[in-house]
Every structure is written in structure tokens, then in C-alpha cells.
Amino acid sequence: MSHNQNILTLDEFTIQQLRMFPKATGELSTLLRDIGLAAKRIYAEVNKSGLANIPGATDTKNVHSEQVQALDVFAHNQLKGVLKNGLSCAGIASEEMENIEVFDDAANNKSKYVVMFDPLDGSSNIDTNISIGTIFGVYRRISETGTPCTMEDFLQPGNKQVAAGYIIYGSSTMLVYATRRGVNGFTLDPSIGEFCLSHPNMQCPTNGDSYSVNQGYWYQYEREIQLFITHCQEKGMSQRYVGSMVADMHRTLLKGGIFLYPATYRKPSGKLRLMYECNPFAFIIQVAGGEAISGTAKIIDIVPECLHQVSPVFIGSKMLVGELKKYLHPGGLHKVYSNPAEIEI
């Protein structure tokens, strides 16, 4: 197969971005390159997971009381390794670690950024050859560079993210990342081992024809959520739910639609992790023109109280999130009517 010489690799793309900002230090570019390297290692392992005797659960549970899978540990260690060995990251927080890890050495302390990640998203799908992923958010530290990073560097709202992204290990492997300047997607070309720019300037369609929710929890959802889902069904929308947030969000970003993980009777604060899952996707989808809310606030405006906080999340095409809001805040509707005669009493 011949290679298209005009397609930029991830490194070439980030260097091209750097050229536009002569004052930029290049630290974010090297950080993305480091994450890209970990992604390739995880991809290689995920791909041979049936052969290499690595699938399956470990005998430990994580801070969320979920069974830790061997690939969760592998992915966590790869990300931690590249970030610790690199020059751009002062410390990490991971879904698989109770506390932050401060990379306290002279080189890492000089770094501007801290990174939070879900090393392997969709763990329950690992052993069944269904798409899984990695999710990350990058924050500029608040503490002074030159010193070890601290917890306050991590407990920042999502609107402070400098970049956020995900890797999807699917029928092809893709790395998608957003900065405030845009969202770009890179597909791994395994023959050269490089992520190549395949989806420049990604935009989430303003509307979509699928909704994504675990309908099995129907009887645990609040009435307004049930009514919104019914509304989607009455419109003839399709239902799509993989159970890997990365896969469901990748489709939502490309095709439009809405992804919901509401509060349930068993999980009254929701399930998905604010720092490792909701915030990175909320940032990406907003840069791409979509919207992400918790029900009462924009996801990225939530000021976190602890590392492993969870939140309900409703995210996707702007119009569909707008329709959902009418169900969540029926009283609030009156505020947006321009003509009072339209208000039904």
C-alpha cells in the first residue's frame, strides 16, 4: 500500500501548530507525543489480548469498587511511564489510583502540566472484542513550577483544561484531541506506527438521530429522563449504546446525537467520573460545537470537591441537549419564550 505523503502525522501536526506561536515552548506537543506513544503500546496489547493471555480480571477492586482488569493496570502503567519519563508532566491522577501521583524530581517539577486519565475505558467490553478506549484531560498547574505539584492542581474545573482527548481502540485506532483552537482526529497507520491526521477540525453536528443511554435502567431513572427518552422514541430516533463511553462519544461526535448517563436509583449521583470521563468529553464536545451538562450546570463549570467525584452527564448535539433541558427545567422554559402568548398555562 502506498502512503499519502500529504497526510500529517501527529508530531508534524503539533509542530505545525507550534510554528504559528513562536513563543510556545512545545511542552504540550511533547506531552501529546508521549500520550501517543503510550496509546500505541496499549493498542498493541489490546490487539493481541486474546493471544497473549492478558485478558481477565485481577483480584483487586479500584476506588470505585469495580473489579480491576489486567488491561486497566497495563494501560495505567504505560501512561504513567511515558508521562514520568517525559518532560511535560508534573504529576498524574488516574481512575485506577486512589491518590494523585506527584513526579517529584527536578525535571518533572519544571513541567507546566498535570494530566488526569481513565487508562482503559469500557473495561467490561475488554474480553468481548468491543471497542474500548483511553480518556485524558490536561491542566496547567496552579502551583509554582519548579516545585512538586499539589492536589489543587488537579481539583480544577473542566473549563481550565488546556487540552483533552481520547484514544479509541476500535476497528481502527484513533487519537482525537482538542485544544481551544479545535478538535482533530488521527488514525493509527499500523504499517508505519504513526497517528496520521484523518479528521481535521471535527465538528459535532448540531442535531442527530440517535440517543445513547442504558435503557436497562429505565425503572431507575427519574420521570423527566423517562419522558425525554420517550420523546426521542416518538421522534423515531435510533437507540445506540455500546457501554464504552469512548465508543458512544466517538459516534456522537462524528454523527451527532445525545449520550446520557443520568442519576439512577442505585447511583443517585450518576456513575461516570467527572475528572476522567465527563470533563474531557465535555471539553472536546464544546470545542466541536456541542454541549455537555450535568442537569443543573455545565459539566466543565463544576468545581470538583474530590478526585473521584461522579456526575450525571448529558452530552452531544446542541439541539438535542437543548430539547433535554426543556424536560429537566420545565419552569425554566418560560424564561426563554420571547412571546408570552406562546406560554401554555
189 binds Mn ion (CB under 5 A): no
* 91 contact, one of ligand AHG, Mn ion, none, CB 5-8 Å limit per kind: none
Q: Which of 26, 55, 81, 243 binds ligand AHG (CB under 6 A)?
A: 243
What is the footprint of Mn ion within residues 60-99 (CB under 5 A)? Answer: 95
Given the complex with ligand AHG, which of 109 and 123 has the nearer CB atom?
A: 123
CB atoms near residue 146 (< 10 Å):
10
The residues with which 260 forms a beta bridge, in sequence order, are 314
194 binds ligand AHG (CB under 6 A): no
Given the complex with Mn ion, which of 63 and 254 has the nearer CB atom?
A: 63
Q: Name the minimum Å distance from CB 205 to ligand AHG.
A: 21
245 binds ligand AHG (CB under 6 A): yes
How big is the site for Mn ion, counted in residues (CB under 5 A)? 4
Residue 44 grid cell: 498493541
Overall size of the chain counted in residues: 345
Are the C-beta atoms of 240 and 203 separated by less than 8 Å? Answer: no
* 243 contact, one of ligand AHG, Mn ion, none, CB 5-8 Å limit per kind: ligand AHG
CB atoms near residue 266 (< 10 Å):
8
Query: For ligand AHG, which stretch binds (CB under 6 A), given 85-93, 243-251, 300-308, 332-340?
Result: 243-251
Query: Please, is 43 exposed, middle or buried when counting C-beta atoms within 10 Å of its C-beta (0-12, 13-18, 19+)?
Result: buried
Are the C-beta atoms of 254 and 202 separated by less than 8 Å? Answer: yes
Q: How far does Cα 264 stand from its chain's mean position? A: 21
User: Comparing C-alpha atoms, which of 294, 331, 290, 297 is closest to residue 314?
Assistant: 294
Given the complex with ligand AHG, which of 45 and 66 has the nearer CB atom?
A: 66
What is the footprint of Mn ion within residues 111-130 (CB under 5 A)? Answer: 118, 120-121
Q: Which of 9, 78, 88, 123 binds ligand AHG (CB under 6 A)?
A: 123
Whose grid coordinates read 506531552?
31
Q: What distance in Å separates the CA atoms of residue 248 and residue 243, rounded to the nearest whole number?
A: 7
CB atoms near residue 191 (< 10 Å):
8
Q: How far does Cα 125 stand from its chain's mean position? A: 17
Q: What distance in Å separates the CA atoms of residue 47 and residue 66, rounded to the nearest whole number?
A: 23
Q: What distance in Å separates the CA atoms of residue 84 and residue 88, rounded to the nearest whole number?
A: 9
Q: Which of 122, 257, 270, 316 binds ligand AHG (CB under 6 A)?
A: 122
Q: Name the minimum Å distance from CB 120 to ligand AHG.
A: 6
Query: Please, is 23 exposed, middle or buried when counting C-beta atoms within 10 Å of its C-beta (0-12, 13-18, 19+)?
Result: exposed
What is the footprint of ligand AHG within residues 53-82 (CB under 6 A)? Answer: 66
Given the complex with ligand AHG, which of 194 and 248 has the nearer CB atom?
A: 248
Query: For ligand AHG, which stretch binds (CB under 6 A), given 26-34, 38-46, 120-128, 141-149?
Result: 120-128
Given the complex with ligand AHG, which of 121 and 291 has the nearer CB atom?
A: 121
Q: Name the minimum Å distance from CB 76 to ligand AHG.
A: 11
Q: Name the minimum Å distance from CB 3 to Mn ion.
A: 34
Given the complex with ligand AHG, which of 147 and 215 has the nearer CB atom?
A: 215
User: Comparing C-alpha atoms, which of 90, 79, 181 is closest to residue 135?
Assistant: 79
Q: Which of 67, 214, 226, 309 binds ligand AHG (CB under 6 A)?
A: 214
- 340 phi and psi angles, rounded to 5 deg: -60, -25
* Residues that bind Mn ion in the complex, under the rule CB under 5 A: 95, 118, 120-121
* Residues that bind ligand AHG in the complex, under the rule CB under 6 A: 66, 95, 118, 121-123, 214, 243-245, 271
